[in-house]
Structure 1
Amino acid sequence: MPLLHISMRAGKPDAYRQAILDGLYRAMREALNVPEGDEFMTISELSPANFRCGNAYGVERSDDAVLVQITVFASRTAEQKKALYRRIVDLLGDNPGIRPADVFVNVLDAPAENWSVGHGITQFA
């Protein structure tokens, strides 16, 4: 049950944004065994004045940087997360053509009782 929030600078075409969503979903399906149809993703497009992404940690980022925050059940292994990061970079590099240095991913672990996917109940606790 991943929940994704993607932040990026405004101005890219619809196909570019859809390629990001498709690539992230595919990476999660492959690396985290996310079930088909488990798609809960948003993209926030921000003006340059409202989006700052520095070059810390020896990574030279461009204006095409995307920030991806993924909240998942606290059951994913370090190996699964590493595979996810690698797969995201590969897929977003292929389409829409984002440089690996411009892909920033943060995974947040949340216990099952922190999730309600509808009807006001905790389906997984």
Structure 2
Amino acid sequence: MPLARIDLIKGKSAEYRHTIGEVIYEAMLSTLNVPKDDRFQIITEHGDSDFVADPTYLGIHRTRDTVIIQITLNQGRTLEVKKAFYKAVADGLHARLGLRREDVFINLVEVPKENWSFGNGEAQYA
């Protein structure tokens, strides 16, 4: 049931963007215990003036390659599970794309199960 919104600076190849989505999906399967085939992702590129990621917030040095990942998902996962997810995504993007771990920004938005409709105007998980 997660919905992933992935934002990055324009100029990366379609393969690069696809790989980001793959890494996130694989991390959701392995750490967040999401159902197989539950893959909903929106990948958006932005021009320089439309993408702001502070380059030094919290002492983390970010580059223009920063990727912002926001995932809306059902509430209830433990802190340990969330940390494992963050690590799996950062490590996976580093291993497969050479993306610096410092350039992986992740935000989880937790919602009750009844806040989803996957089609037909129905609340499938309510």
Q: SS of the counterpart of 2:97? A: coil
Distance in structure 1 (CA, Å) of the matches to 2:80 and 2:121 = 33
Residue 66, structure 1, aligned to residue 67, structure 2: yes
Aligned residue for 2:104? Answer: 103
Aligned length in residues: 125
Q: Deviations over 1:74-98 (max 9, x none)?
A: 1211111111001001100011111
- 1:95 partner SS: helix
Percentage of matched positions with identical amino acids: 42
- 1:114 equivalent in structure 2: 115
Task: Tell me whether 1:32 sits opposite 2:32 in the alignment.
Answer: yes
Q: Are 1:19 and 2:16 an aligned pair?
A: no
**Letter aligned with residue 84 of structure 1:** F
What 5-or-longer segments of structure 2 have no aligned partner? none
- Which letter does structure 2 place at the counterpart of 1:22? E
| TM-aligned CA deviation for residue 31 of structure 1 | 0.4
Between stretches 73-82 and 100-109, larger displacement belongs to: 73-82
Q: Does residue 42 of structure 2 align to residue 42 of structure 1?
A: yes
Q: Shift of residue 30 of structure 1? A: 0.4
The residue that corresponds to 1:91 in the other structure is 92
Question: Residue type of the partner of 1:48?
Answer: D
Q: Distance in 2 between matches of 1:117 and 1:97?
A: 34
Offset from partner CA, 1:34-54 (integer Å, 9 cap, x none): 121110001110000111110
Q: Aligned partner of 1:30: which letter?
A: S
Which runs of structure 1 show a deviation greater than 6 angstroms over 4 or more consecutive aligned residues? none
- Distance in 2 of aligned mates of 1:21 and 1:97: 15
5+ residue gaps, structure 1: none
**Structure 1 CA distance for aligned equivalents of residues 60 and 76 of structure 2:** 29
Q: Look up the equivalent residue of 1:117 and give its one-letter code.
A: F
Secondary structure of residue in 2 paired with 1:124: coil
SS across alignment from 2:98: coil
Distance 1:97 1:72 in 2: 27
